[in-house]
Structures are given as structure tokens and as C-alpha cells.
Amino acid sequence: MIKSLCAAVLVTACSMSALASAPIHQLKPASPSATAPGGGCTAITAPPPASAPPTSVNTLRQAYFCVLNNYYSGPVMDSKALLRSAFAAYTQNLMRRGADQADLQLPALTGNRDTDWAAFAKVLGAGDPAALRAAITGMVAGLHDNHARWIKPTPPSEGGPVGTGIVGLSAQQGSQLDPAARPPLFITRVLPGSPAAKADIKAGDIVVKVNGVPTFIGDTVNQGLLDVFASSTLRLTLKRSTTGRTRTVELKEGPLTRQPPAVTSKKLADGVTYVQLPGFHGGAADQVIAKLQDKPKAVVLDLRGNGGGSPREVTRLLGAFAHDKITSYFCPLKGDCVPNRTDDGVPLLGSRLIVLTDRACASACEDFSAAVKDNGLGTLIGTRTAGGVSGPSEGYLLDDGSVLLLPRVRHLGPAREIIDTIGVPVDHYAPMTALDLATGRDPGVAKALTLL
């Protein structure tokens, strides 16, 4: 049984559209009691089936009761709000396709969950599959919870993963674009051998326009870029930060080489080891600890771009730097919060810790960062984290093979502070610029070395 505290996943095997709908990193199967007696969702105990019936009105019904029965605030939630969000998304989808219906109106809702659903379903009739999928998406989006997701059933790609190979942007904030981002928008990572790499697109290239759409409107990042980047063909206007040269590149999705997350390390100076951890995936803590067997006097742990993962990996890795510490709290709607603690079975390294963070450090990455800061275990350098850590998700299977991810608890930091939507502030501000990336400079590492 695996818990997940993952708001976003590094999109190493998919296109930039994953920024708009982050895929599952790890699922915690829900307890069998989570199956709704009214015929709601089913606790997921195995991978979704390879084939399943199409999305139907019954699928939407399952999702509706699944939220009410299993979501953190479901027991006290206004069920009318759920149905309003679903109906709005349903009708908007029909309108976009020119298929709106003259007699399609939201029925009068009373607040009784069962009778309201019966009236709602009667209006939908047989339902439109595409609009039903939009309704589920809209209903979940209406929760405004960065760990609540609906993962649609998608057939496996015959030729393996495809995408453009652009897997990082400077404005990335967890699974969205950072409204606080400042221009310019630049590429932070390109997969080797990908269509982007073959087109000579490099980290540090400034993105001026995407399919003719400007990346910033004034000083505000254009949130519409998420939809634009979801296109299979991109027309990018790029400016090379080292030369100022501007060019336009036509980019089409192509095959990508699957690259599992890997922990890497190098020596920065005498007694100082740098370790880059891309995600708190299964076994990540032990992989980091294995890189530090010589017990260096200082560790620079790079969590920039780390999209999260398993809370167990967080507590295990923290156990290498401190014992008998509370790392966070998981709080139910009613009752006492449950403290999470360092894994004291891990031998202490005795090393000084410096952690590098950015706005793409989300979820379990923020769990780790807050534990370091609040417990005085080390120094944080870079920029404030994403603020995407509402609570660990649990997986529920719907009848069309899709998966609904819902948090049952809320996450608080070690000082019982709210980190979700706010992020963890750093001790030393050291953002990465486009020119830094293009020339190989690293202000975070440079600051760490001055402190050491």
C-alpha cells in the first residue's frame, strides 16, 4: 500500500500537456470500506483494466458519490455545488462542439444527495460521452484541490511515449503555471534525442511565443499556454539567451526515450557532495543515502524540479539527518492530527544539509523542505516552493477504467502551519536565470559553497 503526496510529476515521458494534467506518480489504494454503499467508486487494489466500457452517466454518478463519501470535506460538502460544477462543464463542452440542447437546464436542487442526483440524471438522459468526461473533470476541478485529479483512461501507445521533449519551463509551479512568475519564460530542460533536441532547442532558450500566443501579457504569465502546449504541433518563437538571436521553430511530437528518475551525485569541493533528487519515488531515500556512504561533512541536496512522491521516502531520508523529529501532520476533517516522524532506523550521516528548491518543488518535496526548515536541520536556497501539498491522494476506480484521486486528510507542516497554496520560503534567494542555464552557471550551488 503506497501513499502518494504528489501534485506533479516530472514529464520525462510525455509532452508538455502533462503540465495541465499531471499523471499519477504513485497511488495509495483506498481501504475497502471506502466503497460507497450507494454504488459509488471502488477502492483501487490493482492497475486499471486495459479495456473498459465508455464513460457513461453511471460513471459520473460514481464520481459524484465517491467525492461525497471519500473526499476530505465530502461529509460536510454542499452536494449542490458538485452538481453545478459538473453541469457547467457538461454544457460548455456541448457548446464548444456546437451540440448544445435547447431543453438542457439544471434542475432545482434541494441539497438531498440522492434526490438531487436522480433529478440531475433525468435531465442528462443517456448523456453525451465527451460531455460526461468534461463534467467529471469540471466537478473535480471545482474542489480546487491540487491533489484531487481524475485520470482518464487512455490506450497505451504502440510505439512507446511520444512528445516534443520540452519537459521543463521556468514558470512551472507544480502542475500549473506560476501566477507570480516574472518574464521571461524560458526552457529549463530538454530530453536528449527528442524532437526538441534535434531542433537545437536548449535549456535557457527564451520562449517569446507559442503558436503565435505571447507567453506574457504585460508582466503576467499567460495561463492559456497550458492549452497551447497540449497541441501535437508547436510553432515556437525562441530567443537564445547567450546571443540574442531570435528564430521560429516548427516542432512536432515524436518518440521519446523512456527515462526513469535517477539520483545523481558529484563532488563539489573537499567534503562537500552534491546530490540531485528528481522525485521521491520508491527507493529514492536509499539511493540518496547510498551516494553519501563516505559521510561527507556537507550535502547539497538539489530538489529543484522535484514533483513529489511518497511521504515514506521523505521520512526515511530525513532520518539520515535527524532522529526523533516530527516531519509533518496529516489531519482528518474531524479528530486529532496524526504526526509523521523521522525514520529513526536510518543511521545518522552527521552531515550538514543544504537544500536547493524552486517553484517546481511540489508536494512531498515541500513536505521534506518544511521539515528541514522548521526543525532547523539545514538551510534552504533558491526560491519558495510550489504550494501544492493539500494532502496525500488515494485512488478510486470508476467503471470506465478511469481513476479518481482524492485526499482524505490535510497536510500541515511540523509547526502545524499550512503550506498548501503558500509554499515553503527559502533562507537565501537564488533564482536560476535563462543565461545561467545556457552558460552552465548555478547560483544555488554557488551560494551553498559560500555558506560552507
pLDDT by residue (tens digit) across 170-192? 998 866 889 999 999 999 999 99
Quote the Cα angle for 75-46-152, to 5°. 65
CB 185 within 8 A of CB 229: no
Position 265: which residue type? S
Quick check: 49 pLDDT over 80?
Answer: no
Instruction: Report the alpha-carbon distance of residue 361 to residue 369 in Å, rounded.
Output: 9
The pLDDT tens digits for 419-444 are 999 999 999 999 999 999 999 999 99
Helix (H, G, I), strand (E, B) or coil at 38: coil
The pLDDT tens digits for 87-97 are 999 999 999 99
pTM: 0.88
Is residue 142 one of the residues assigned to a domain?
A: yes
The pLDDT tens digits for 101-132 are 999 999 999 999 999 999 999 999 999 999 99
Nearest CA among 261, 298, 267, 283 for reference residue 378: 298
Nearest CA among 55, 61, 54, 56 for reference residue 38: 61
Query: Are 169 and 132 part of one and the same domain?
Result: no
CB 198 within 8 A of CB 250: no
Supply φ then ψ for residue 443, to 5 degrees. Answer: -65, -30
Is residue 231 one of the residues assigned to a domain?
A: yes
Instruction: Report the alpha-carbon distance of residue 309 to residue 261 in Å, rounded.
Output: 12
Is residue 445 one of the residues assigned to a domain?
A: no
Confidence band of 265 (pLDDT split at 50, 70, 90): very high
Question: Is the alpha carbon torsion for 391, 395, 396, 400 positive or negative?
Answer: positive
Q: What is the DSSP letter of 17?
A: G
Is residue 289 one of the residues assigned to a domain?
A: yes
Q: Which of 151, 170, 194 is the last residue of a domain?
A: 151
Query: Are 209 and 352 part of one and the same domain?
Result: no
Confidence band of 450 (pLDDT split at 50, 70, 90): very high
Strands 272-276 vs 42-43: parallel, antiparallel or unpaired = unpaired
Domain residues for the domain of 303 are 264-392+400-434
Query: Domain total for the chain?
Result: 3
CATH number, domain of 372, equals: 3.90.226.10
Confidence band of 45 (pLDDT split at 50, 70, 90): confident
Quote the Cα angle for 400-401-405, to 5°. 110
Query: Are 226 and 111 part of one and the same domain?
Result: no
CB 270 within 8 A of CB 296: no
